């Protein structure tokens, strides 16, 4: 094998590695792979920096209508596009994870969420994330970033402009649904909370009425949506 042949092979490999899908194409691929996504109901165990936080949390995630969160102490909140649109008490606790990005299945919904999170769709980068390669929508210098496994298009990390981060670890099969085992919520100071999935299943019974602010009890003051802390 001549040096020139080896050089040609290395150049070919480098060219392949250098190709990165445009961010717009990644969004369309997410729409494709999630076309048949179903609503999900998750039973999770919560561990966090505050000992009085509830130990059990239910997350109900709908690909069209948002995220409903309930704890064992009577708290319930409704999130849409990263904002609390209804809840009791009205101020959302620090441990609530904005995981809508894991389920949104329409191009319009994805673009709206990414725009709110200030993810620059003119940029996409490639980087290592654990043992895999990840696309970084927005790029590493963007105030908002979404890291996705480049082969499975699974979200593994989200960086939000207000300083919060979400890390999704241990993707596995839950009766035919790929979903992370652990959801970690961080801020600029470090880990705030971990929600570990104990049980997950499709919830086709969940519909628009279940995600209506009018059915969620107390709304935020002035009937205005509020951002997560």
All domains of the chain in start order, with CATH: 22-227 (2.50.20.10)
Residue 192 CB neighbour total at 10 angstroms? 20
Q: Report, as an integer, the average pLDDT of 134-163.
A: 95
- Report the pLDDT averaged over residues 63-81: 94
The mean pLDDT of 155-170, rounded to a whole number, is 96
Span 146-175, mean pLDDT?
95
How far apart (Å, rounded) are the C-alpha atoms in residues 123 and 117? Answer: 14
| pLDDT at residue 217, rounded to an integer | 57
Give the 3-state DSSP-derived string for 60-75, with helices as H, strands as E and coil as C. EEECCCEEEEEECCCC
The SS3 assignment for 55 reads coil
Surface-to-core class of residue 95, CB atoms within 10 Å of its CB (0-12 exposed, 13-18 middle, 19+ buried): buried
DSSP reduced 3-state for 39: coil
Buried b (16+ CB within 10 A) or exposed e, 65-86: bbbbbbbeeebbbbbbbbbbbb
Q: Work out the number of other CB atoms within 10 angstroms of the CB of residue 150.
A: 19
| pLDDT bracket for residue 226 (50, 70, 90) | low
Encode pLDDT of 44-59 as tens digits. 999 999 999 999 999 9
The Cα-based distances of 55 to 47, 63, 84, 98, 146 in angstroms read 7, 26, 21, 18, 28
Q: Is the pLDDT of residue 189 over 80?
A: yes
pLDDT band per the 50, 70, 90 thresholds, residue 7: very low
Percent of the chain scoring above 70 in pLDDT: 86
Q: What is the pTM of this model?
A: 0.86
């Amino acid at each position: 094998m001549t040096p020139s042949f080896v050089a040609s092979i290395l150049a070919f490999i480098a060219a392949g590695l250098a190709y990165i899908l445009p961010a717009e194409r990644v969004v369309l691929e997410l729409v494709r792979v999630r076309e048949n996504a179903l609503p999900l109901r998750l039973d999770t165990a919560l561990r966090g920096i505050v000992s009085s936080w509830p130990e059990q949390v239910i997350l109900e995630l709908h690909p069209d209508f948002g995220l409903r969160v309930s704890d064992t102490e009577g708290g319930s909140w409704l999130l849409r596009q990263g904002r609390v649109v209804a809840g009791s008490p009205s101020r959302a606790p620090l441990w609530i994870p904005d995981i809508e990005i894991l389920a949104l299945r329409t191009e319009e919904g994805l673009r709206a969420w990414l725009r709110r999170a200030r993810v620059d769709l003119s940029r996409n980068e490639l980087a290592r994330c654990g043992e895999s390669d990840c696309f970084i929508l927005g790029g590493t210098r963007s105030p908002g970033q979404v890291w996705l496994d480049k082969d499975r298009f699974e979200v593994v990390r989200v960086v939000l402009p207000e300083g919060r981060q979400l890390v999704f670890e241990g993707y596995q099969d839950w009766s035919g649904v790929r979903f992370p085992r652990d959801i970690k919520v961080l801020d600029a100071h470090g880990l705030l909370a971990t929600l570990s999935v104990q049980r997950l299943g499709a919830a086709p019974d969940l519909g628009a009425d279940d995600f209506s602010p009018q059915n969620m009890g107390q709304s935020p003051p002035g009937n205005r949506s509020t951002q997560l802390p």
